[in-house]
Amino acid sequence: MAAPDGDSPSPSSSSSSSSSSSPPRCVLVFSGKRKSGKDFVTDSLRGRLGGDVCAILRLSGPLKSQFAKEHRLQLDKLLDASDYKERYRGDMIRWGEARRSADPGFFCRLATQSDGARCPVWLISDARRRSDVDWFARHHGAVTRTVRVSASDDTRRKRGWVFTPGIDDMESECGLDSGVQWDWNIRNDGSDGDLDSQLQEILSHVELQLGS
């Protein structure tokens, strides 16, 4: 994977950027449109791998946290799949883009400095831009793999998605529609059984990386 993201690594942003003394053994970077099931898939993988070895790191975590503080909003409601989050999504996107344009690795660095980054397996649940994918390739390339989660518009609508101009046609939702060679493509339209068999290949890869 190419890795020109324009941020200069510093001691706090290199592969030792986590609060862990050892770098991650496996990093899976997930992308997908809203309501495709990124959280569902990463929760399911973490459930199987166990919270002691596997952490879900959300790039939107530090973004929402800072945005909530600055705008006196309820962080817990920005973090779940609520209408409250959707009400502020456009504003959060614009706020985050201002930060990213000054420093494309800003949220990647913060997410990987959180406590969860002590775990050997990182599930990065929400890459949205080429610069996100490139940051992980640049800092953790040897252990990074990419996963695209897709669901049909019909399925997404059943999960509550409503096409919104200014969101669904912008970089936040479309920035990774092309240009990345995904290591795995997960189709998340169907039953749990369909998903299980697709996740098995990823689980085998992680177990191999962990040497178990």
Ligand X SMILES: Nc1ncnc2c1ncn2[C@@H]1O[C@H](COP(=O)(O)OP(=O)(O)O)[C@@H](O)[C@H]1O
Residue list for the binding site for substrate: 188
Which window, 38-46, 53-61, 65-73, 128-136, contacts ligand X (CB under 6 A)?
Answer: 38-46
Nearer to ligand X, 114 or 150 (CB): 150
Nearer to ligand X, 34 or 109 (CB): 34
- Report how far apart, in Å, the C-alpha atoms of 65 and of each of 24, 62, 73, 88, 92 are: 24, 5, 9, 13, 11
Residue 60 backbone dihedrals phi, psi, to 5 degrees = -75, -10
Asked if residue 39 binds ligand DP6 (CB under 6 A), the reply is yes
Asked if residue 34 binds ligand X (CB under 6 A), the reply is yes
Beta pairing, strands 184-187 & 26-31: unpaired
Number of CB atoms found within 10 A of residue 162's CB: 10
- Helix, strand, or coil here: 92? helix
Which window, 37-45, 62-70, 96-104, 130-138, contacts ligand X (CB under 6 A)?
Answer: 37-45
For ligand DP6, which residue of 26, 55, 73, 92 counts as binding (CB under 6 A)? 92
Nearer to ligand DP6, 83 or 193 (CB): 83
Computed on alpha carbons and rounded to an integer, the radius of gyration of the chain in Å comes to 16
- Helix, strand, or coil here: 125? strand
Instruction: Return the H-helix or E-strand segment holding 56.
Output: strand 54-57
For ligand X, which residue of 35, 85, 100, 130 counts as binding (CB under 6 A)? 35
Query: Interface residues with ligand X (CB under 6 A)?
Result: 32, 34-40, 81, 159, 188, 195
Query: Interface residues with ligand DP6 (CB under 6 A)?
Result: 34, 38-39, 60, 63, 89, 92-93, 96, 126, 128, 172
